[in-house]
Structure 1
């Protein structure tokens, strides 16, 4: 394929209520593929919503905080798991349309939560991409991913990969992904503020790939409404009500070309960005910059990536 139609869905998640979030995601993704998109991208933890209280609620990080504990329990109860039947409609949509759908979710593995960017691929198992380092307050809820989920999907038009949020400021993670030869990269963010836009456009230039920087739209009232949908909790409500301000995730999503130029950019509300990518731009950009090839010095620098899954306990 010389051109690739893509869609970036900037939308408000349904916080905490993952099943309702999946229904909304399917509806939005279906509209995108019906408009011709072959790649559909959603932002970080769209399924379940970004845990804004970690950054915004005073006291959320205090030891033994009742509201934080109640929210953690709800997230464990709601999180997706391996082979989760609730996700089947997204896989079925990918299978029927031939499109790739990338969407962020809270995932439960045993009794821990992970930040996972799920990539649904036609006729293939879902591709997991667990965040390697939860950022700052995120470490209160998410475990660290391992190297086993660093990978790309190989399509007929090229390779697609993803990093999550501040992984874009991990130079060795970027180097590893560039080595995998991405043609299209999904940068999943909770909101694409200026520094996130800079990181996304830099990644496009450095990796000589198209970047879909996907953000969310999320308000304080969304959090409170989501809490009520899953049964509520008085101590959790008190924590969320203490958040100052109303609009907390402000979108700002964009699609960047391999030369850093912005092809499409969203505002602060819900909208879907569409673009047709000229895949020839990838190879043409490599003429003067290939950070994994002619612009590399493997005789000076060497990177080893451990892709073994680390379960922590081995039963023999």
Structure 2
């Protein structure tokens, strides 16, 4: 499929409520289906919370019992590869006949570690792969583990070569290069960053990688938190709008096709034509004719091969 409609979803999950969030995901995917979407991207940690504003009872040198119980709440609203919730997401993708990329809190029940991940589902409903964040930012390091590079995944699909990074991984030049060297054409960037400067980063990546960039963020207000958390000093100190969004779709020459969307929930769509990737590489290609392999070399430990999907 050389040209098709893609969507980025800007919304909030039902924070810390896995079942209600899954129902909302199903509704949003249904809306994408009605729009004739072939590829849909959901924000970072959409299942079931990006725990913005929370410290989990930590200071350097100590952790509180209440903070541990809150982390348990985060764990309980997270999903595991292959579990019933993961399978349900696959059925949603199959029912809507679209390729689904969705940010999740992924629990590893063997190690007891949580990861900030993207789960990728084919239009046949198969979990074709995932990406775990290789470097959580700041306080995120308390709640999420680090990937070892074995999920720096890319997929060769009928919609083009799809891959991506999560939030501030996109500020890591070598992480971006790991995507470019696989020939990524549809670059996905789920995030929790709603600053104006994020828009410059997304346009830069489109120009640098000569790829379409889809960036998806949550729209979150303080009132969306469960009552017991809204009553804490941590959340009371937060602004009423805690994440204003900024989801956007950008073409391989850095032109904005849709968005950015601010201060509301919504679904952005745009027509992606893979010929535009080829045309953009006429004068720049970071892994081809604009590369200097006589001067530079680059390799990634543990990065998997491209997975080709029928």
TM-score, scaled to structure 2 = 0.90
Match of 1:129 in 2: 131
Task: Identify the structure with the greater strand proportion.
Answer: 2
Residue number in structure 2 paired with 1:8:
8
Counterpart residue number, 2:251: 257
Shift in CA distance, 107/237, structure 1 to aligned 2, threshold 3 Å: farther
Indicate the SS of the match to 2:262.
coil
Q: In structure 1, what is the Cα distance between the partners aligned to 2:57 and 2:65?
A: 10
Q: How far apart are 1:126 and its partner, in Å? A: 3.7
Unaligned runs of 5+ in 2: 305-310
Alpha-carbon distance change, 298 to 155 in structure 1, aligned in 2, over 3 angstroms: same
Post-superposition Cα deviations, 1:196-255, rounded to whole Å, max 9, x if no partner, equal 111111111111111111010111221225xxxxxx6x8x95354443321101111111
* TM-score relative to the length of structure 1: 0.89
Question: How do 1:1-316 and structure 2 match up within 5 A?
Answer: 1-54=1-54, 61=59, 63-109=62-108, 110=110, 111-123=112-124, 124-225=126-227, 238=232, 240-265=234-259, 266-307=261-302
Q: What secondary structure is seen at the aligned counterpart in 2 of 1:186?
A: strand
Distance between the aligned counterparts of 2:66 and 2:203, measured in 1? 38
| In 2: Cα distance, 1:169 partner to 1:308 partner | 19
Deviation at 1:304, TM superposition (A): 1.7
Name the CA distance, whole Å, in 2 between partners of 1:60 and 1:271.
35
Q: Distance in 2 between matches of 1:71 and 1:83?
A: 25
Change in Cα spacing, 1:86 to 1:157, as seen in structure 2 (3 Å) is: closer
Q: Give the Å deviation of 1:59.
A: 6.7
Q: 1:276 to 1:53 in 2, by over 3 A?
A: same
Question: Cα distance, 1:82 vs. partner?
Answer: 1.9
CA–CA distance in 2 between the matches of 1:217 and 1:67?
27
In the superposition, relative to structure 1, how do residues 253 and 308 fare at CA in structure 2: closer, same or farther (>3 Å)?
Answer: closer
| Distance in 2 separating the partners of 1:165 and 1:155 | 23
Alpha-carbon spacing, 1:61–1:161, altered in 2? closer, same or farther (3 Å)? farther
Give the match for residue 307 of structure 2. Answer: none
Give the Cα–Cα distance (whole angstroms) in 1 for the partners of residues 298 and 257 of structure 2.
33
Larger helix percent: 1
Where does structure 1 differ by over 3 angstroms across 4 or more consecutive aligned residues?
A: 57-62, 239-243
**CA separation in 2, counterparts of 1:60 and 1:4?**
47
Unaligned runs of 5+ in 1: 226-231, 310-316
